[in-house]
Structure 1
């Protein structure tokens, strides 16, 4: 037996002013689409913007349903829209922003487990890291260089051979 330590690296931006112009544009797209989410049950809205290798941007927001498991997260809406439009495309960056009608979300909100797995699928497929930026409605913005930082023991297609 031996112990094994896993470490991850993240970049923390104190606010939007520390982002590059491209990064700001993507975050603002995520915020804009977040504010059109359909979240009548949780009152928790999430928006995502996906930047593709060719420069195209695809957005998505969470869509809830009275039958709770039937809803879908913003990240998967944006990713699957992008990949449906550009099946051979490569995802470069994902920006995520969340807010609540119940309280101020001033902490970064990372992707849920299902969304992490969806991101892992495409990062594995394209054999190239996807940068993931996430934030609340205000405050710090966290940047992960790869889904592996958020999901270090991820399940991928290599397990199925």
Structure 2
């Protein structure tokens, strides 16, 4: 899969981040099973618990439009280091993916690494655990 388009979307949305408190901007873009791309940014709040991460913003947009399965997600935060999704975002990614889903961690469109979901959240708690 060519990840550059996905990374460029994440970079574009990183610039839209509302991060007046942490000053840490994050952009994310997911490509769903139907090939559609949905993007999001982090949106902070003075009540920190009301803050929403870029990954969840993109995923929730996708699911609200009918998407159910993530093929890949690109995440761009710090432009000098790879930014991994937080624990809550990893749990949300798990809900709409499987262990082979590609997690693209990018500094820019030319400098990125790809992990599969199983590498960043082994032994995830899932809907299978509720049966």
Find the aligned partners of 1:117 and 1:59 in 2 and give their Cα distance. 18
Within-5 A mapping of 1:67-146: 67-87=47-67, 89-99=68-78, 105-124=79-98, 129-136=100-107, 140-145=111-116
- Give structure 2 stretches of 5+ with no counterpart: none
TM-score (norm 2): 0.91
Find the aligned partners of 2:21 and 2:36 in 1 and give their Cα distance. 32
What do you get for the CA RMSD once the two structures are aligned?
1.9
Find the aligned partners of 2:51 and 2:90 in 1 and give their Cα distance. 16
Counterpart secondary structure, 1:54: coil
| Rg (Cα) greater in structure | 1
TM-score (norm 1): 0.75
Question: Does the C-alpha gap of structure 1 residues 41 and 139 become closer, same or farther in structure 2, counting only changes over 3 Å?
Answer: farther
CA contact (8 A) 1:33 1:61 kept: yes
Which ranges of 4 or more aligned residues in structure 1 deviate by more than 2 Å?
135-140
CA contact (8 A) 2:56 2:89 kept: yes
Find the aligned partners of 2:109 and 2:49 in 1 and give their Cα distance. 28
CA contact (8 A) 1:108 1:139 kept: no
Residue 53 in structure 1 maps to residue 23 in structure 2: no
- Give structure 1 stretches of 5+ with no counterpart: 1-19, 100-104
> How far apart are 1:59 and its partner, in Å?
0.3
Question: Does the C-alpha gap of structure 1 residues 68 and 85 become closer, same or farther in structure 2, counting only changes over 3 Å?
Answer: same
Residue 29 in structure 1 maps to residue 3 in structure 2: no
CA contact (8 A) 1:106 1:138 kept: no
Counterpart secondary structure, 1:136: strand
Find the aligned partners of 1:72 and 1:42 in 2 and give their Cα distance. 13
